[in-house]
Amino acid sequence: MSAHIIDGNALSRQLRTEVAARVQALKAKGVTPGLAVVLVGDHPASQVYVRNKVKACEDTGLHSVLEKYEASMSEATLLARVAALNQDPSIHGILVQLPLPDHIDAHKVIEAISPAKDVDGFHMASAGALMTGMPGFWPCTPYGCMKMLESIGYELRGKHAVVIGRSNIVGKPMALMLLQKNATVTICHSATADLKAMTLQADVIVAAVGKRGVLTADMIKPGAVVLDVGMNRNDQGKLCGDVDFAGVQQVASHITPVPGGVGPMTITMLLVNTLEAAERASN
């Protein structure tokens, strides 16, 4: 068997077309959804990420502002910028690119963002909303994974989902979203005694670790759906995920590639959240 590949680029194109149409409808009512992206320092990967986010906004008709600051920027100045963006009516979503320089408390900065503009879904209010099933913003990466499952018509009710990784931005919210859709969820992490024993029971596996080769073909049951969130480099320096794609593809029913899988979906869901924020603000 060779698994069906869930194409994150194709699904993103489809969703972005829908976003662009909703943006036009909102613009007709006099509201242009706006995203502010704040970058502090010159972390090379972050520069690429923010550029891609701004370009995605431009391509779908959203207004975007990129604010770049020196790594020496003080925490107080950054907090003042966030406070100003909270008050800016042309901005509906605020994204502070992580990581921040060591002298800035990232938690404090995220908590300073108005929950109504927390389109990254990292604020504690957003986390609480997800946990309690209330309206809020879902973190973009796991939200994108849910859209990928939806795109293949996958019914999660009664299925066993195993999430590998328990970070606040991927693993934990992923588990909560799967739970909300009535899957039975197991969360694995670095202290899990026997990862293979867990993954072999899974109907759905989400790998969000950041180590290549964490999930191999012998660790999954035939027909499992495998979503690969990991972003790593192989020996040739090429982007790869956590999953041994070539091997797992022979056993799984569906699999996401890296690149071209979860990555583009993350940016797409940022656009969706920003649009949603603008729609809520306009109502």
In the complex, minimum distance from the CB of residue 234 to ligand NAP, in angstroms, rounded to a whole number: 13
A 10 A CB-CB count for 70 gives 9
Distance (Å) of CA 127 to CA 122, 138, 140, 143, 229: 7, 8, 12, 13, 20
Please identify which residue in the block is written with the tokens 């309206």. Answer: 135
Task: Name every residue whose Cβ is closer than 8 Å to that of residue 282 and which is 6 or more positions away in sequence.
Answer: 26, 29, 31
195 binds ligand NAP (CB under 6 A): yes
* Contact between 189 and 166 (Cβ < 8 Å): yes
Is 120 catalytic? The answer is yes
Closest CB to ligand NAP among 40 and 240?
240
In the complex, minimum distance from the CB of residue 145 to ligand NAP, in angstroms, rounded to a whole number: 9
Q: Which residues on neighbouring strands pair with residue 160, listed in sequence order?
A: 184
In the complex, minimum distance from the CB of residue 158 to ligand NAP, in angstroms, rounded to a whole number: 25
Is 249 catalytic? The answer is no
Closest CB to ligand NAP among 116 and 231?
231
For 251-269, give one letter per residue: b (16+ CB within 10 A) or e: bbebbbbbebbbbbbbbbb
Q: Which of 97, 118, 203, 244 is catalytic?
A: 97
139 binds ligand NAP (CB under 6 A): no
Taking each helix axis from N to C terminus, what angle separates 140-151 and 171-180, rounded to the nearest 10 degrees? Answer: 40
Distance (Å) of CA 103 to CA 39, 95, 97, 168: 15, 19, 15, 21
210 binds ligand NAP (CB under 6 A): yes
Q: Which of 23, 78, 146, 169 binds ligand NAP (CB under 6 A)?
A: 169
Among the listed ranges 31-39, 77-85, 149-157, 224-232, the one in contact with ligand NAP (CB under 6 A) is 224-232
Q: Which of 191, 193, 235, 236 binds ligand NAP (CB under 6 A)?
A: 191
Instruction: Report phi then psi at 243, rounded to 5.
Output: -100, 140
Site for ligand NAP in 253-272 (CB under 6 A): 262-263, 266
The 3-state DSSP class for residue 205 equals strand
Is 42 catalytic? The answer is no
273 binds ligand NAP (CB under 6 A): no
In the complex, minimum distance from the CB of residue 45 to ligand NAP, in angstroms, rounded to a whole number: 9
A 10 A CB-CB count for 114 gives 16
Q: Which of 24, 59, 87, 120 is catalytic?
A: 120
Closest CB to ligand NAP among 121 and 165?
165
98 binds ligand NAP (CB under 6 A): no
Interface residues with ligand NAP (CB under 6 A) are 141, 164-167, 169-171, 188-192, 195, 208-211, 214, 229-232, 262-263, 266
Report, as residue numbers or ranges, the catalytic residues: 53, 97, 120
